[in-house]
Amino acid sequence: MCLFCKIINREIPSNIIAENDEFLAFHDINPKAPIHILAIPKLHVDSFNDTSPQMMAKMTSFIHDVTKEVNIETSGYRVITNIGDNGGQEVKHLHFHILGGAKLKWGHLSDVDPKGLI
């Protein structure tokens, strides 16, 4: 069972922000912004490549609800999902990072020379 499935099953504690029958949102334990929340489906899906458009439609609505709950829906936020090893996915359970609470910079990619990646 993956880490996020254990959080869903309450085997591992988390700081839950929002929850419904299909999704769960909780604070990231290693935040990269003043507000850093992970939104996950309760159904185990390995990555974005394995999700359905129907699940994504519901996830979009859930993420909107989460941003309202933490008061960043109008000030702005970033939603990121990492896919696969090269995309930086560390936990093989679909999850979306919701980052906000400050003017966000691009971070680690801002100093990368794209010519050096080819």
36 is catalytic: no
Q: Which of 27, 44, 64, 95 is catalytic?
A: 95
Query: H or E element: which one contains 59?
Result: helix 53-69
Q: Which helix (H) or strand (E) holds 38?
A: strand 35-41
Q: Rounded distance, CA 36 to CA 31, Å?
A: 5
Active site residues: 95
